[in-house]
Amino acid sequence: MKTFGEIALVYISVLQCLCGVCMPHLLINVRNQGGDILLETISSNVTDDTISLEFQRSDGTLVTQLVDFRNEVQVIKALVLGEEERGQNQYQVMCFVNHFYKMDFISSDAMSKLRQKNPGTIRIAEEDRGHSNYTMDLFLDVSKSGVISKHVATLCGEAADTTYTRNDDLKQWVQRPGSSEAALMATARNFTTTPVTQQAGNESKPVSLPKCADTSNLWAPCTCSLELCIGWYPCGLKFCKGKGDGKKPASSYRCGIKTCKKCFIFSYYSQLKQNCLWDE
């Protein structure tokens, strides 16, 4: 029997196809490191040259990853539920926008051709690509983000004040053909990591923001850290060699996909430690 979520996804897919926007998707049961089974939905849009992946963690956090191959952009959004017993009555949304290398994921065209033979199988990635640390040193203005990717505004509309990127990523996007450095730089603004000063004689010296894990003041700004792991995704194609006939060398052909796991650790400015209670 299908779950409510699976039925809803089928219904949405039918509506999309009726509207002329078919987005093939896979429903993947993934076993995470803690042994929980998570349902991933992976969709491909060949027209936009994008892939999106979404799942809900066992703690209720909804994670969405979108890869925009055309613009070399990756967006990871986290919708984190509040802890009512600790004074958080609402959820919060953060978006992390980074440069993306096309070879790190299967192409949207190849993804659209994948089919599930055993949809009920519990999947475990073949390769663990470890952890990557991202220090997000800029706020991204979602209203101006179209010069980076049109998909940022669509995905991160709820995170107008909590969408982040890096100087390093802007430098990568400047190299795209037709990119304007001025337009890209106008999308982002610095947030100070030294908002507090202390007096030393007649001089004021900046005091760096503490990590949220290192402060007990719930109402103080700090540097938050959030780990998000993609437990299973198609990271490449597999090729096998055919048999040669003696006159011609053996040719290779596509014979499957390679699957990977990847974890991201995002460090970013949080206005209040209260908004980063998991980082303790």
Residue pLDDT, tens place only, 99-141: 999 888 999 999 998 887 888 899 999 999 999 999 999 999 9
User: Is residue 79 domain-resident?
Assistant: yes
Q: Is the pLDDT of residue 196 over 50?
A: no
User: Is residue 2 domain-resident?
Assistant: no
User: Is residue 271 domain-resident?
Assistant: yes
The 10 Å CB-count burial string (b at 16+, else e) for 74-90 is: bbbbbbbebeeeeeeee
Q: Radius of gyration of the chain from Cα atoms? A: 22
| DSSP assignment string, 114-131 | ---S-TTPEE--SEEEEE
Q: What is the pLDDT of residue 207?
A: 54
Q: Is the pLDDT of residue 191 over 80?
A: no
Nearest to 77 by CA among 92, 95, 61, 91: 95
Residue type, 141: D
Note the pTM of the prediction, 2 decimals.
Answer: 0.83
Q: What is the pLDDT of residue 7?
A: 33
Q: Is the pLDDT of residue 85 over 80?
A: no
Counting the structural domains of the chain, the total is 1
User: Is residue 214 domain-resident?
Assistant: yes
More reliable by pLDDT, 204 or 166? 166
Mean pLDDT computed over 221-226? 95
DSSP helix/strand/coil, 106 = coil
Q: Which domain holds residue 34?
A: 23-239+253-276
Q: What is the pLDDT of residue 279?
A: 82
Nearest to 264 by CA among 170, 190, 191, 166: 166
User: Is residue 141 domain-resident?
Assistant: yes
User: Is residue 9 domain-resident?
Assistant: no
pLDDT band at 62 (very low <50, low <70, confident <90, very high): very high
Q: Per mean pLDDT, which of 3-7, 71-75, 195-199, 234-238 is the most reliable? A: 71-75
User: Is residue 13 domain-resident?
Assistant: no
Q: Is the pLDDT of residue 2 over 60?
A: no
User: Is residue 14 domain-resident?
Assistant: no
Residue type, 212: C
pLDDT band at 263 (very low <50, low <70, confident <90, very high): very high
Return mean pLDDT, the chain.
Answer: 84
Please give the distance of CA 249 from its chain centroid, rounded to a whole number. Answer: 42
Question: How many C-beta atoms surround the C-beta of residue 253 within 10 A?
Answer: 10
Using the 8-state DSSP alphabet, how is residue 209 labeled?
P
Q: Is the pLDDT of residue 171 over 50?
A: yes
Q: Per mean pLDDT, which of 3-12, 113-122, 216-225, 250-259 is the most reliable? A: 216-225
Q: What is the pLDDT of residue 246?
A: 65
Residue type, 168: D
Q: What is the pLDDT of residue 202?
A: 52
